[in-house]
Every structure is written in structure tokens, then in C-alpha cells.
Amino acid sequence: MSNEPIPLSKALASFDALWSPRIVTRVNDYEVRIAKVQGDHIWHAHADTDEFFLVLDGELRISLREPDGERTVLLPQGAVFTVPRGTEHKPSAPSGASILLFEPTGTLSVGDRHDEIPDHVDATTGHALNT
């Protein structure tokens, strides 16, 4: 990890892979990850952790399966949302987006669906950032 400031625009410009996060830095036992996303991810849940999203650019939709039924939250640029642990969810970005995630180190981006990794995902726990 860098001991210098990291411009997120430069970090995002350093890769093109979709739904494959890059680890920007660590905070205690958590990773700060960035990702470029477009289209649909997969339905999944994280049994032991909440998942924090910040939309840096574009628009992200997160569909949720909750006890009262399904709903979708819309996150425009600058919006944050936390998916509660154990909640099945499916992020999507029809027009593309750049996001920042805050998760415990080693958290799989496909949660409990580690046997269903889509072809477009090349890393489920993130790559080190190479700027």
C-alpha cells in the first residue's frame, strides 16, 4: 500500500476489467476497493459482513431480496448505501459506473455464490492496485 495520496481518477484509469475490484488501501482489517462495473452482477449475500457502496461516477442499482419482498435502490453519483449482512442482493449498472467498496479483507465479491463466478470477473477478492 502507498504511503502517498492516491488520486482515485488515476487509480481507475489504471485498469479496464469490469466487476473485478482493485484494492486502493487498507484500514485496520478492511480493504478500500474500487471497481468499474457495467451490466449485471450476480445475486449473492455476505453472511458475516455488511457491504458499503459509494458511487464515484455513473449510476448503480442494487436489487435487494428482503423479508417484505424485492426492491431496487438507485444510487446516483456521490450516493452511498450499505447492504446489510445476510441480505441477498444484485448490483447492476446498465450504463456503467465506478464504485468504491469498503469490506473486510478477503471478502469475496460474489459472496456465497463462489461456485458461480461469471466469466467477466477475474478476481473475487480484488487485485492489488498498480498505478
Structural domains of the chain, ranges and CATH numbers in brackets: 23-112 (2.60.120.10)
DSSP 18: B
pTM of the entire predicted model: 0.87
Q: What integer best gives the mean pLDDT of the chain?
A: 87
Please give the pLDDT value at position 107.
Answer: 75
Query: What is the CB neighbour count within 10 angstroms for residue 50?
Result: 14
The 3-state secondary structure of 41-109, one letter per residue: CCCECCCCCCEEEEEEEECEEEEEEECCEEEEEEECCCCEEEECCCCEEEEEEEEEEEEEEEEECCCCC
Higher confidence at residue 13 or residue 42?
13
Question: How far does Cα 114 stand from its chain's mean position?
Answer: 15
